[in-house]
Amino acid sequence: MRVCKKCGERKSINEFVKSKRGLYGRRYTCNKCRNKRAMDLYYKDHDRRLKEAKIYRERNKDKINERERKCKKQYRDKNREKLKQYFREYRTKNRERINKCKIEWLNKNPEARIRRRLYQLAYNNKPHVKERNKEYRKNHKEMEILSKKKYVNNNREKVRICGNKYMKRQIDEISDRYIKKLINQVYNLSKNDITQDLIESWRQTLINKRLIKSKRNEKISTS
Ligand SMILES: [Zn+2]
């Protein structure tokens, strides 16, 4: 224990900084008092110091930036694994908040959304990424099915509208798929029994039917 010369309190010897000059190799004033004195000195001339610091920064901007850049890079290189781990944990802990921020930002910056989408498409089109995605899907089939189910469950209305749009396009184009569906409904034929010839003949019939219908509608509207 030692009594501080400044505040007069009795404190543990650890509260006094090591020094060759003091008694038993420690200073006479406690750390708290020393810190306070340093702060007082600093704030006594605070405005002048701030101004000086600002001028110094302005004059040595390039040097400071370069030094900071180097310092940061060095730190990153040294702590690569640690930082990776840290950010991974941070992302998992704050996933919801991060996603919310991201969505808000993208809503405010529509052109960024497009830019991001283009970047994603270009990235996914790279040969090695394509290969990797394919491999991943192959190894995670059941996960894909699950995620699809989850998506459909969470977006029922969207999926319904999308499905309707898709079906409408199929009908408009009289696609093979649509004809197959019709044949299956009427004759209950299996997929393999429906030949391309059969599809073509149905298509012709459907086209004729539509023609007749549109002619009839024209007559009704003009009469
Ligand atoms: Zn003290």
Residues 147-179 pLDDT 10s: 899 999 999 999 999 999 999 999 999 999 999
pLDDT for the residue numbered 143: 86
| Cα distances (angstroms) measured from residue 83 to each of 89, 90, 93, 101, 132 | 10, 10, 15, 22, 26
What are the boundaries of each domain within the chain? 1-44, 45-93, 174-213
Asked if pLDDT for residue 19 goes beyond 90, the answer is no
pLDDT for the residue numbered 24: 83
Query: What distance in angstroms lies between residue 41's CA and the mean position of ligand 1's atoms?
Result: 16
Asked if pLDDT for residue 185 goes beyond 90, the answer is no
Q: What's this model's pTM, rounded to 2 decimal places?
A: 0.36
pLDDT for the residue numbered 21: 81
- Name residues whose C-beta falls within 8 Å of residue 96's C-beta, 6 or more positions apart in sequence: none
Q: Do 32 and 15 form a contact (C-beta atoms < 8 A)?
A: yes
Q: What distance in Å separates the CA atoms of residue 37 and residue 14, rounded to the nearest whole number? A: 19
pLDDT for the residue numbered 37: 92
Query: What distance in angstroms lies between residue 30's CA and the mean position of ligand 1's atoms?
Result: 4
Query: What distance in angstroms lies between residue 118's CA and the mean position of ligand 1's atoms?
Result: 64
Query: What distance in angstroms lies between residue 25's CA and the mean position of ligand 1's atoms?
Result: 17
Q: What distance in Å separates the CA atoms of residue 60 and residue 66, rounded to the nearest whole number? A: 10
Q: Per DSSP, what are the bridge partners of residue 11?
A: 2
Query: What distance in angstroms lies between residue 1's CA and the mean position of ligand 1's atoms?
Result: 12
Query: What distance in angstroms lies between residue 15's CA and the mean position of ligand 1's atoms?
Result: 9
Lowest mean pLDDT among 16-25, 173-182, 207-216: 16-25
pLDDT for the residue numbered 71: 95
Q: What distance in Å separates the CA atoms of residue 193 and residue 197, rounded to the nearest whole number? A: 11
Query: What distance in angstroms lies between residue 23's CA and the mean position of ligand 1's atoms?
Result: 16
Asked if pLDDT for residue 126 goes beyond 90, the answer is yes
Asked if pLDDT for residue 60 goes beyond 90, the answer is yes
Query: What distance in angstroms lies between residue 163's CA and the mean position of ligand 1's atoms?
Result: 77
Q: Do 6 and 30 form a contact (C-beta atoms < 8 A)?
A: yes
